[in-house]
Structure 1
Amino acid sequence: MPTLRACTAGMLLVMLVPGVFAAPRDAGVLEDRMQVTVDPGDDFYRYVNGRWLDRTAIPPDRSNYGTFTVIHERTQQQLRALIDCLPCIGDSEDADVEESRKISALYRSYMDLATIEARGIAPIRPLLERVLATENRAALPVLLADLQHLGVDLPVALSIFRDARRPAQYALYLSQSGLGMPERTYYLSDKARFAELRAAYRGHVARMLALAGLDQAQRRADAILSLERDLANAHWTRVRSRDRQATYNPSPLADLPEVAPGFDWEAFFAALGPMGPERVIVRQPEALAATARLLSERPLFELQSWFAYHVLARYAPYLSSPLVAEHFDFHQSTLSGIEQPKARWKRALALVEQGMGEALGKRYVAEHFPAAHRARVQRMVDYLTRAYRSRIQTLSWMGERTREEALAKLDQFSTKIGYPEYWRDYSGLAIEEDDLLGNVMRIQRHAFDFHYGKLGQPVDEDEWFMTPQTVNAYYSPGGNEIVFPAAILQPPFFDPAADDAVNYGAIGAVIGHEIGHGFDDQGSRFDGEGRMRNWWTEADRKRFEQRTASLIEQYNAFCPLPEHCVNGALSLGENIGDLGGLSIAYIALQMALEDAGRAPHRDDLHRGDISIDKANPSRAVIDGWSASQRFFIGWGQIWARKYREDELINRLNNGPHAPDRYRTNGVVRNIDAWYEAFDVTSDDALYLPPEARVSIW
């Protein structure tokens, strides 16, 4: 870990934000948030979070607000204090002074509103003029390659990941893209909400083009919407695009014109850079073919208009206030119901995170992530792994051949906690304090060169796909690894002052969730070496899919709004992760308690008036809550969240996660131990008969 000198000015002044959690009691149960008048068997989510839900308003700059947001805002305050402190660390022998200067200059370039307003549209005009000056189709490949370097959303998206069948090397993936609204449903659905959004989008596009000084703005907007509707018709659904096998379509680069004829792919890749790939992996072949066809058939006027709008959509947040306001009005207010933009310092911080995230993260962990947290979380990972091994060994529906493969994969999991061992190098990134748009463009080019430069190189096993200050976690199937950034290791996810039960219900279940992604409907298609390979017998896969089909059916029945329900197939991977993660975390907790010589008695599964055992406080009841109850409450606490209606509709259509209410209630009703812990009976609304409860891992 870096040993940056602490700069105390402002470091201890962490502002309170709405909804910040009170300091937990020893049990880790946040009783001030609970609504214990609700029967836990009727609505466990409200039982755990009801008072918090009733008294918490979504801030006007948010589309939703919950536990993740509270921790994120706490972390933002810490990061802001670090940036404010950077000018005073120049005398530190350990600090990278030039890197600190860049962080500070990037932040200040966004905060310099006077310079930004004075320049108006001028910084983006040369790029727009180049787009509009495209006189023939032969120039399109080079233009699109240049826009790709600048991070503009194009009709085809490029990404560099491990090759799913050759995980020891990188591959270039081509994915469908090019829509100005979130996905195909917004263009094709006949529901009233989406018809309203299409009309709003048309008006927004025309206003953006007019603000940039383009002529025939309304005609251009009509053409853009028509073009994107045609593209949306060819796009795969979100559910189909989840399929790792269907989206793995390798092609030699020389054969790409046969897959998607009508576009000069050779010229495009030649313009991207000298180290082009010999082969690519096409994720949605029909969409790529439709893209090539549109590029070859649509009038240049329409294509120029399309690219010009996407240039503006990408860079409007870094231009003068009229474009910033118009971009916000559609993309955040109309789509998600957000009432006002975030404070400027938060947007400036987001740019630093985007451009120099690991450099800022290096400073964050030096100040805010104790080394002891790593060791304690690693112990929990060890118990979760042990619990998964125990479950896999005893699964009644799995045969021996598949079981051996599953155990071999589990043994090959790797874990990353807190922060990377090696930090990204930003020495080649030029940042100027008085050039915001130039900074953003240079950041995009620097990021493109970093990722595209991986082609032909050995896979970097130490690379992280999140920064340490990210409040989240992930599983990477190609690396068969689970990753937990430092910022998620805070209360109520992880509280070193709380007992094991609530921590296992919170961060323990998150750990289990990420391991579970290695065994969900898509992650289970990869082996322990990260290779997409069918290691299942046909009979075992069929039994697995019968269980997942039941889970899909359960979640399809959750409808938070009329005509808007959870898509059980789209959210399947996350739901398997939640169910397996919480189930296995409960087993891991029992193992941890048993190893500590304090296994809970049968009576401990119920709330009672038993006093704390001073000699062994984790054994029985703490503050009136049994270990099992604390465990499930720990799970419910981390999912407290409120949504604006527009944002909820967005998430139901686009996101892989069910709303947090169902991530709580939809999981616990499938776990026998929850019924025992809270005396849930067939009279309760969440009750499922034992034969209807889904158990996969």
Structure 2
Amino acid sequence: MSAEEHLKSLDPKQFDPNTPASADFYQHVTKGWRDAHPLTAEHARYGAFDVLNDSSEARVKRIVLGLGATNPKPGTVAHKVWTLYSQAMDSVRRNREGAAPIQADLKKIENTPHEEMTDLFLWMHGNYASPFFGAGPMEDLANSKEYAMYVSGGGMGLGDRDYYLLDDKRNKEVREAYKKLIVKQMQNAGFKAKDAKRIMTNVMKIETALADSAWTREQSRNIPAMYNPFTFAKLKETYPGVNWDRFFIETMGIPSPETVIVTEPNSVMQGVNLLSTLTDREIKDYYLWKYVAQAAGKLSDKFTDAAFEFNKVMSGVGEQRPRWKRALGATEGMLGEAVGQLYVEQYFPQSSKDYMVGLVENLRTALGKHIINLPWMSDDTKLNAIKKLNAFTVKIGYPDKWKDYSGMVINPELSYYENMHNAGMWHQKEEYAKWGKPVDKTEWGMTPQTVNAYYNPLANEIVFPAAILQAPFYDPESSDAENYGGIGVVIGHEMTHGFDDQGRNFDADGNMVNWWTPEDAEKFAEKTKGLIAQFDAVEILPGLHGNGQYTLGENIADQGGLRVAMTAFLDSQKKKGVDITTEKIEGLTPMQVFYLNYANLWAQNIRDEEIRSLTQGDVHSLGKQRVNVTLRNIDPFFEAFSIKEGDKMFRPVEERVVIW
């Protein structure tokens, strides 16, 4: 597809004539698209989102190349963007330098004497990684206008505890690939094979011990349980293995906070105990790996090739992404809003923003109707829910205030690794500088060129970057039915996150406050059990079932988004005087088009390895389940396609789960 080709929304010619909508709706809608978009070696998965992302990437590439063509002046943001991109593309220089950019730091770790091990720990935490545990400021869950200091568990290179602790075939396979990665990367960094194997053994010992105390994926969704305030005196008393006064001053440049929130007390305890009981050799080996792991993507092809071999096991992908895509990703990671500002100027018309403003208000009104008419919720809780809904902040397209990168120094004389590290430290310093200041509610958590959207419970805001406001989500040339079934459902989805299993813990001001009556909270929990069971029951691959508890928030939001967007669509057509009972769109009813375009959003081809990785580590259900399982709870869907008892897509009324 050419970069400027119009991205069409729904295409009935791609429907599967051999699979009725009543048998497998996902297959019926997406088979033609999936047949037309076979996976290439580069992709572990490829779907409608990726088509749009490819378009966004092509636009960003033209922006960056355009900056280079202007021969930008040193010190300007354009020069910084072009320098990082150029260095990311310069494999000749990076391969010539090899591991040289990191040798001095690796020697520093190796040569640190015992009496300076605390200094080494603080240096690592302040500059290169978060060994044993993590820490930093974030909005206070109980008072979202201010920042709190959090200390959290962590330190595991594989992220999820199950990779270390479970002995099934898949987790063993990942573990072995991780061990090979450590050995290979340490050899790439200049260590002998014998030393690389010793480092791997010590890393696995430490990270497995950290995993043993880490929370499960399901536990990590319990937000109130993660809010454990400690006075500073209690923190020092409970975790005496760390010099906390020096920790905050030397790693963040801030005075010791009066209160610290410990999110997973047992995990932090495990990290601190390991720090206190391991030998210097074991700790140094762990640091060496943490350092090399964070540096590898910014060094020579030997490092990136080794990382790709590991990624092949994790995702099943057969070929690295093109270098220009990796270079763009790295550049945007450091200077994303600088690129985003140019993206918006060229590709985001005011008309798209105006349309979205009206659409969001229609969805807000529709969700209000749903809340008011909920049969299971009391009036007291409904009033608080409506108050929260009315307080939603809506951000569309791009931030009102752009990030100032003037203080970031990018020097083409330095190596790519050094420049990327310096840029990363600039961002870290920016985060730490927030301490003691009020929370800036205007800040964005995504760039405008990102194909995604989000709900932030601490700001009670929904955010829609410019890049998602294109087909198949939104298309000014398409029908209202398509647009409401696309971006309308996305809006409703993000709104419903304010009332999912996590979002419901926060009030209209973004504070963690219980605004539910005990009876309503109990009814909500009971209803979610049914939704959990539906997704648990799906056998995704032989022996692999969905995880309804872990994906609960997204599943609630999918269902809520569909229901609310349909109400908003019907209201919009009524205002326009459109009779949807007689209207036809390419031979289909508007109700059918609405649900067809929703399914169209999730068209995707995906490898089995990626399916297993996502099922283990992603809070979203797979696209097929987001369509087939979710829609089987929606009454108007059954009516639109005349789905009846005996059809595979049918679900008895008493088994349908409706939350919002």
TM-score, normalised relative to structure 2: 0.96
Partner of 1:194: 171
Residue 199 of structure 1 deviates from its aligned partner by 2.1
Q: Is the 8 A contact 1:171 1:280 kept in 2?
A: yes
Letter in 2 for 1:16: S
Q: Is the 8 A contact 2:7 2:472 kept in 1?
A: no
Determine which of 567, 572, 592 is the counterpart of 1:629: 592
Q: Could you say if the C-alpha distance between residues 145 and 360 of structure 1 is closer, same or farther in structure 2, counting changes exceeding 3 Å?
A: farther
Partner of 2:110: 132
Aligned partner of residue 560 in structure 1, secondary structure:
strand
Letter in 1 for 2:12: E
Unaligned residue ranges in structure 2 (runs of 5+): none
Residue 151 of structure 1 deviates from its aligned partner by 4.7
Aligned partner of residue 238 in structure 1, secondary structure:
coil
Partner of 1:59: 40
**Residue 396 (str. 1) matches residue 359 (str. 2):** no
**CA separation in 2, counterparts of 1:260 and 1:36?**
64
Determine which of 420, 445, 448 is the counterpart of 1:465: 445
Aligned partner of residue 451 in structure 1, secondary structure:
helix
Partner of 2:2: 16
Q: Is the 8 A contact 2:141 2:458 kept in 1?
A: yes
Residue 58 of structure 1 deviates from its aligned partner by 1.8
- 1:585-600 equivalences in 2 (<5 Å): 585-600=565-580
> Deviations for 1:572-615, whole angstroms, at most 9, x for unmatched residues?
000000000111100000111111121423xx5xxxxxxxxxxx
**CA separation in 2, counterparts of 1:390 and 1:672?**
17
- 1:417-456 equivalences in 2 (<5 Å): 417-434=396-413, 435-456=415-436
- 1:200-215 equivalences in 2 (<5 Å): 200-215=177-192
- 1:156-195 equivalences in 2 (<5 Å): 156-195=133-172
**Residue 638 (str. 1) matches residue 601 (str. 2):** yes
Q: Could you say if the C-alpha distance between residues 662 and 137 of structure 1 is closer, same or farther in structure 2, counting changes exceeding 3 Å?
A: farther
> Deviations for 1:442-473, whole angstroms, at most 9, x for unmatched residues?
11110101111111111111100000011110
Determine which of 327, 331, 339 is the counterpart of 1:352: 331
**CA separation in 2, counterparts of 1:581 and 1:327?**
38
Q: Could you say if the C-alpha distance between residues 401 and 171 of structure 1 is closer, same or farther in structure 2, counting changes exceeding 3 Å?
A: same
**CA separation in 1, counterparts of 2:418 and 2:314?**
28
Residue 66 of structure 1 deviates from its aligned partner by 0.7
**CA separation in 2, counterparts of 1:183 and 1:668?**
30
> Deviations for 1:186-205, whole angstroms, at most 9, x for unmatched residues?
01112111112222222221
Partner of 2:261: 281
Q: Is the 8 A contact 1:149 1:444 kept in 2?
A: no
Q: How many residues align?
A: 656
Partner of 1:256: 235
**CA separation in 2, counterparts of 1:487 and 1:553?**
35
Q: Is the 8 A contact 1:493 1:638 kept in 2?
A: yes
Letter in 2 for 1:43: D
Q: Is the 8 A contact 1:160 1:170 kept in 2?
A: yes
**CA separation in 1, counterparts of 2:121 and 2:629?**
45
> Deviations for 1:651-672, whole angstroms, at most 9, x for unmatched residues?
1111100111001111111000
**CA separation in 1, counterparts of 2:135 and 2:115?**
21
Residue 130 of structure 1 deviates from its aligned partner by 1.6
Determine which of 80, 84, 89 is the counterpart of 1:106: 84
Letter in 1 for 2:59: Q
Q: Could you say if the C-alpha distance between residues 234 and 23 of structure 1 is closer, same or farther in structure 2, counting changes exceeding 3 Å?
A: closer
Letter in 1 for 2:83: A
Partner of 1:405: 384
**CA separation in 2, counterparts of 1:61 and 1:23?**
22
Q: Is the 8 A contact 1:42 1:686 kept in 2?
A: yes
> Deviations for 1:310-352, whole angstroms, at most 9, x for unmatched residues?
111111111122222112211x112111212111111110111
Partner of 2:610: 647
Letter in 1 for 2:245: E
Q: Is the 8 A contact 2:486 2:598 kept in 1?
A: yes
Determine which of 44, 53, 61 is the counterpart of 2:25: 44
Residue 696 of structure 1 deviates from its aligned partner by 0.6
Aligned partner of residue 137 in structure 2, secondary structure:
strand
Aligned partner of residue 218 in structure 2, secondary structure:
helix
**CA separation in 1, counterparts of 2:419 and 2:75?**
19
**CA separation in 2, counterparts of 1:211 and 1:365?**
41
Partner of 2:309: 329
Letter in 2 for 1:108: S
Q: Could you say if the C-alpha distance between residues 572 and 21 of structure 1 is closer, same or farther in structure 2, counting changes exceeding 3 Å?
A: farther
**CA separation in 2, counterparts of 1:36 and 1:260?**
64
**CA separation in 1, counterparts of 2:328 and 2:14?**
30
Residue 153 of structure 1 deviates from its aligned partner by 4.6
**CA separation in 1, counterparts of 2:184 and 2:598?**
46
Partner of 1:367: 346
Residue 37 of structure 1 deviates from its aligned partner by 2.5
Determine which of 222, 225, 244 is the counterpart of 2:201: 222
Partner of 2:653: 690
Q: Could you say if the C-alpha distance between residues 16 and 155 of structure 1 is closer, same or farther in structure 2, counting changes exceeding 3 Å?
A: farther
> Deviations for 1:277-310, whole angstroms, at most 9, x for unmatched residues?
3322111110000000000001111111111111
Letter in 2 for 1:265: W
Partner of 2:548: 568
Q: Could you say if the C-alpha distance between residues 422 and 469 of structure 1 is closer, same or farther in structure 2, counting changes exceeding 3 Å?
A: same
Letter in 2 for 1:208: Q
TM-score, normalised relative to structure 1: 0.91
Letter in 1 for 2:331: V
Letter in 2 for 1:669: R
Q: Is the 8 A contact 2:457 2:506 kept in 1?
A: yes
> Deviations for 1:47-80, whole angstroms, at most 9, x for unmatched residues?
1101122232222222211111111111111000
Determine which of 249, 260, 268 is the counterpart of 2:247: 268
Q: Could you say if the C-alpha distance between residues 231 and 337 of structure 1 is closer, same or farther in structure 2, counting changes exceeding 3 Å?
A: same
**Residue 152 (str. 1) matches residue 141 (str. 2):** no
Q: After the TM superposition, which of the residue ranges 212-221 and 148-157 deviates more from structure 2?
A: 148-157
Q: Is the 8 A contact 2:132 2:275 kept in 1?
A: no
Partner of 1:316: 296
Residue 90 of structure 1 deviates from its aligned partner by 7.0
Residue 213 of structure 1 deviates from its aligned partner by 2.0
Determine which of 338, 342, 346 is the counterpart of 2:317: 338
Q: Is the 8 A contact 1:176 1:284 kept in 2?
A: yes
Determine which of 2, 6, 16 is the counterpart of 1:35: 16
Unaligned residue ranges in structure 1 (runs of 5+): 1-14, 605-619
Q: Could you say if the C-alpha distance between residues 683 and 355 of structure 1 is closer, same or farther in structure 2, counting changes exceeding 3 Å?
A: same
**CA separation in 1, counterparts of 2:47 and 2:445?**
23
Aligned partner of residue 152 in structure 2, secondary structure:
strand
Letter in 1 for 2:398: Y
**CA separation in 1, counterparts of 2:5 and 2:609?**
27
Residue 261 of structure 1 deviates from its aligned partner by 3.4
Letter in 2 for 1:679: S
> Deviations for 1:26-55, whole angstroms, at most 9, x for unmatched residues?
xx4222332132111221111110112223
Partner of 1:10: none
Q: Is the 8 A contact 1:35 1:49 kept in 2?
A: yes
Partner of 1:660: 623
**CA separation in 2, counterparts of 1:528 and 1:458?**
18
> Deviations for 1:473-511, whole angstroms, at most 9, x for unmatched residues?
000001000000001111001111111111111110010
Root-mean-square deviation (CA, aligned residues, Å) is 1.8
Residue 152 of structure 1 deviates from its aligned partner by 2.4
Determine which of 554, 562, 565 is the counterpart of 1:582: 562
Residue 89 of structure 1 deviates from its aligned partner by 4.8
Residue 88 of structure 1 deviates from its aligned partner by 4.5
% same residue: 35
Aligned partner of residue 502 in structure 1, secondary structure:
helix
Letter in 2 for 1:455: W
Q: Could you say if the C-alpha distance between residues 299 and 97 of structure 1 is closer, same or farther in structure 2, counting changes exceeding 3 Å?
A: closer
